Amino acid sequence: MELIEELSHDQLILYAARVAKTFQIDPVDVLRDDGDELLAMVRVAAVMVVQRDEEEAARRAKASSSRGRGRRR
């Protein structure tokens, strides 16, 4: 159990988990990239794009919600 906890903080595992969650794939498949750095960089960049898009959508939703509340008064 201690090893599992330690692995859950490993940067490579964190990367694999985030990529896998974003693209709904098995994290083990992410780790089986045969050391292809380009593949790893593309995956990380793609996750960053998705995160930025989600943050922007959340910001817009919040701004829209705030504007709607101000009109009800």
CA angle 28, 55, 10 (to 5 degrees): 30
Q: What was the pLDDT predicted at 26?
A: 94
pLDDT tier at 24, thresholds 50, 70, 90: very high
Which of 15, 7, 69 lies closest to 42, judged by CA? 15
Distances from the Cα of 21 to the Cαs of 31, 49, 70, in angstroms?
A: 13, 14, 37
Confidence band, pLDDT 50/70/90 cuts, at residue 73: low
The model's pTM is 0.69
pLDDT at 65: 87
Take residue 40 and report the two structure tokens written for it.
């790893």
Domain total of the chain: 1
Grade residue 53 by pLDDT with cuts at 50, 70 and 90: very high
Residue 58 structural domain:
2-71
